[in-house]
Amino acid sequence: MSKRNVTIVGAGSFGTALALVLDTAGNNVQMWAREENIANQINEKHINPSYLNDIDLPEGIKAYNDLEQCLKSQDMVVFATPSHTLRELAGKLKPCLDGHEILVTVAKGIENDTFKTMSQILVEVMEGTTYEDNIGVLYGPSHAEEVGKLKPTTVVAAAYSTRTARIIQETFLTPMFRVYINNDVIGVEIGGSVKNIMAIAAGIVDGAELGDNAKAALITRGLHEMKRMGLMMGAHSDTFSGLTGMGDLIVTCTSTHSRNRSVGFRIGKGEKLDDIIDSMNMVAEGVKTTKSVRDWAIKNNVEMPITHAIYSVLFENVDPRDALYELMTRDPKDEIVM
């Protein structure tokens, strides 16, 4: 069993679930929580009061509110906060790193305006250091609620160097958390991020009771759409049939645990996006990612009709049924373009 010093930056749902996995895998685990009371309760009561509070955390997991103190002598730093916070947080902790740590992000998203993926942001922020070879992501179908109960889960460690991917794999591996590796970092990241848009769409289909046929069509055509984007960005097509493409798409479009699907479901029932977001204490990445991907598709002239439809529903007040009508009445096409 590996035994590394690992800090998880972010004590939300996934950070908490991964702390348990990393502890089970035999590592020394620390968490950084933005909220002081969360850090205190993890240390004193061994629960996270705000996220997955039905899970007893091992006493060995220590939590900090002070980032600098937390990062001393670490072998790996795992970023588990929402994607839009990564650039700033990574910039803040850069001076606290000593140069050898593996940096892993589990946040799924594409930055607004720059269209950078999470690993690309880390590479950019760490510029001037030796970190590019040490950067990776851990993506795949892995709802925190199930990971935290140690239910069987499979994910993918993708990194710019095989050595780094293998270290991530070895560090997280447990009998209930199986980690594959893949060197197609961009393919893994596009699948893991764009599926959140499709999950919002799947939720709308369920909320508006548009039927199972529509849901199957959406998942299948959604996969085409994410693949089209990925291939333009240099991804490998097989990655989209894997855990971080098809796998994550299935779980997020169908699971009641999915926050993105639940945003869509509530929109399908007639609620307004702002009210839904205000009522949630968790992040639904697909909302911001819809904007990034729609802007990217326009800029690069790539056909992404489902993304455009979801954008119009989320940000232009278009009724989901009208958006669906638009999708269904597009020019007839070949299913597969060879």
Ligand X SMILES: NC(=O)C1=CN([C@@H]2O[C@H](COP(=O)(O)OP(=O)(O)OC[C@H]3O[C@@H](n4cnc5c(N)ncnc54)[C@H](O)[C@@H]3O)[C@@H](O)[C@H]2O)C=CC1
Please state whether 161 falls in left (phi above 0), alpha (psi between -120 and 50) or beta. Answer: beta
Indicate if 195 belongs to the active site.
yes
Q: Could you say which DSSP state residue 92 is in?
A: H
Q: How far is the CB of 151 from ligand 13P (least distance, A)?
A: 13
Smallest separation (angstroms) from ligand 13P to the CB of 192: 7
Sign of the alpha-carbon torsion through 256, 260, 266, 268: negative
Site track 76-115 with ligand X (rule: CB under 6 A), x = hit: ----xxxx-x---x----------------xxxx------
Residue in 275, 330, 278, 329 with CA at minimum distance from that of residue 303: 330
Classify residue 54 by its DSSP letter: T
Query: Is 143 an interacting residue with respect to ligand X (CB under 6 A)?
Result: yes
- Does the annotation flag 159 for ligand binding? no
**Does the footprint of ligand X cover residue 12 (CB under 6 A)?**
yes
10 binds, among ligand 13P, ligand X, none (CB under 5 to 8 A by kind): ligand X
The answer to whether the beta carbons of residues 293 and 315 sit under 8 Å apart is no
Q: How far apart are CA 41 and CA 61, in angstroms?
A: 11
From the list ligand X, ligand 13P, none, partner contacted by residue 245 (C-beta under 5 to 8 A by kind): none
Chain residues 258-277 in contact with ligand X, contact rule CB under 6 A:
none
Asked if 105 touches ligand 13P (CB under 6 A), the answer is no
Q: Is 160 helix (H, G, I), strand (E, B) or coil?
A: coil
Contacts to ligand 13P from residues 235-254, by CB under 6 A: 248, 251-252
User: How many angstroms separate the Cα of 162 from the Cα of each of 12, 54, 157, 244?
Assistant: 29, 37, 10, 18
Within 8 A by CB and 6+ apart from 238, the residues are none
What number of chain residues touch ligand X (CB under 6 A)?
25
Q: Give yes or no for a contact between 47 and 53, defined as CB atoms under 8 angstroms apart.
A: yes
Q: Does 189 bind ligand 13P (CB under 6 A)?
A: no
Report the binding-site residues for substrate.
108, 259-260
Query: Which residues are known binding-site members?
Result: 10-15, 34, 51, 108, 140, 142, 144, 195, 248, 258-260, 283, 285
Query: Which residues have a catalytic role annotated?
Result: 195
Annotated binding site for NAD(+): 10-15, 144, 259
